[in-house]
Amino acid sequence: MSRASGTLVARSVSKSYGETLVLDRVSVAVTPGSRVGIVGPNGIGKTTLLRVLASVETADHGTVALEPPSATIAYLPQEGRVATRSGGEAARAKLEAVMSEGADVVLLDEPTNDLDFAGLELLERFVESHRGGLVAVSHDRVFIELMTRIIEFDAETRRVREFAGGWSAFEAERRLARERHQDAYRRSAAERRRVEEQARRMREWEQRGYGQGRKKKKTKDVRRTFERKLSRVEQVEKPWAPWRLELELSPGHRSGEVVARLERIVVDRGGFQLGPLDFELGQGERLALTGRNGVGKTTLLRALLGELPLTSGRRWVGPSTVFGELPQGAGPFSGRAPLLEAFTRSSGLPPTEARTLLAKFALGADDAYRPGGSLSPGERSRATLALLAACGVNTLVLDEPTNNLDLEAIEQLEAALEGFVGTIVLVTHDRRFLESFGATRTIDLGKAQGWAEGRDAVR
């Protein structure tokens, strides 16, 4: 059982890397029983704040203090996305190790990544029973609902704002704050336009000589009058519009009624065997593959894509099928080649068009000439999404697509998939994303393998 003592307080913490300011006077107090969720765009400083709180990194300015000094901290760092079958199992083992420490304050960086549904239930039971303080960086909206407070990194200012409650309360309050800001800006802009129009009309009257024969105010006096009126109009900054992933996925052409078929396939991978398995994918299906970690979901996807050799069985793909993949691992942009070079080679686009498309996915000129391997996981995911948009795919294969996307990008991906009229195969443990996906068919692969090992096909 975790203890209920220990308070972690950061006061006016600032942190820079070179000339880049990452944390700007951030303050946070983690008291016993509090559960603090940290959200915001990728690369804005969430992980840096957690590392500073964990004393893995030192702040340039400000203080971090743990009271009493004898209190303890447990820290679960973010791991890279792992394509091997041991990835989810390793994530669970590390989570269980942190849970067993009985620390006063627990710091978790993207703890839901790579966990299956059973692992998520274990994590959430721990969070609800933990009597000390807890801070979690996460993009899992169901998990964030468990938080008692949310700290949001503002994309424009890099400062933080704090909200009470979990995800639903945060989302509602944030929406209301944006609406109030927009209304205040519209009222302010309308009043300024009204006063400026009055000033314009007065200047025209002066220029036309209206008021001849009686005392006239001089033009400069008129100007001063309306300058005073303008000064009394509340100044409201224009609401900032952050970059949004405007993802449009349109199949180049329709696939056949049967997209692909796997017939009695067996795949052997380092002592793990998938199958024998029969599998057929129909045009327009939205198929969700579920099952515990290590059951072979990623293996099945790679067999479907033709990326793994079959020990036995047959793979057939319809002649009009165009696959597009958002993989769980590093993906196509992980080598030494510059992003633009790899992108043009994979997409067939000329460099000018490729740069324009990459820019729509927030990958600018500087990013285009960086080696693909130097991109962050989130940047590689955006580059892969841009590639899918370029290729006119009609069959999407998505393996844990939300793991390295921030909340804004996840919501945009949800909207893009909602309007996609092709075929989709999805593996995800993001429960809100799975609900939004609207699967037309779900296969629990653990149970399906049991059927396939007999004589029945997976349908």
Which residue pairs, CB below 8 angstroms and at least 24 apart, start in 352-358?
354/390, 357/386, 357/389, 357/390, 358/383, 358/386
Residue type, 308: L
DSSP3 helix / strand / coil % (the chain, rounded to 5): 35, 25, 40
CA distance 371 to 99: 38
Query: In the prediction, which pLDDT does 321 show?
Result: 87
Q: Which pLDDT belongs to residue 214?
A: 46
Q: For residue 351, which amino acid is it? A: P
Domains 7-155 and 258-452 share a fold: yes
CATH topology of domain 258-452: Rossmann fold (3.40.50)
The distance of Cα 247 from the centroid of its chain, to the nearest Å, equals 14
What pLDDT, on the 0 to 100 scale, is given for residue 226? Answer: 66
Strand residues in 94-237 grouped as ranges (E): 105-109, 133-137, 149-153, 160-164
Query: What residue ranges in 57-132 does DSSP mark as E strands?
Result: 61-67, 73-76, 105-109
DSSP for 35-85 reads EEEEE--TTSSHHHHHHHHTTSS--SEEEEEEESTT--EEEEPPPPP--ST
How much is the pLDDT for 251?
Answer: 61
The pair phi, psi for residue 198, each rounded to 5°, is: -60, -45
- Indicate the domain borders of the chain: 7-155, 258-452
Instruction: Report, at the CATH architecture level, how domain 7-155 is classified.
Output: 3-Layer(aba) Sandwich (3.40)
DSSP string, 298-337: HHHHHHHHT-S--SEEEEEE-TT--EEEE-SSSTTS-SSS
Place of tokens 């909206």: 141
Give the span between the Cα atoms of 98 and 108, in whole angstroms.
9
Secondary structure of residue 296 in the 3-state scheme: coil
Give me 46's structure tokens. Answer: 């969430």
Which three-class secondary structure state does DSSP give residue 114? coil
Burial class of residue 141 (count of CB atoms within 10 Å of its CB; 0-12, 13-18, 19+)? buried
- Give the C-alpha separation, 342 to 333, whole Å: 7
Q: Rounded distance, CA 435 to CA 447, Å?
A: 21
- The pairing of strands 160-164 and 258-269 is unpaired
Could you list the beta-strand ranges (E) of 54-166: 61-67, 73-76, 105-109, 133-137, 149-153, 160-164
pLDDT means per 10 residues in the chain (459 residues)?
72 88 89 92 86 92 90 83 59 85 91 88 92 92 93 80 88 82 80 75 67 51 66 68 59 74 89 86 92 87 91 91 77 82 89 88 83 78 83 86 82 82 91 92 75 35
Strand partners, 150: 37, 163
CA dist 365 and 344 (Å) reads: 14
The structure's pTM equals: 0.74
The pLDDT of residue 213 is 46
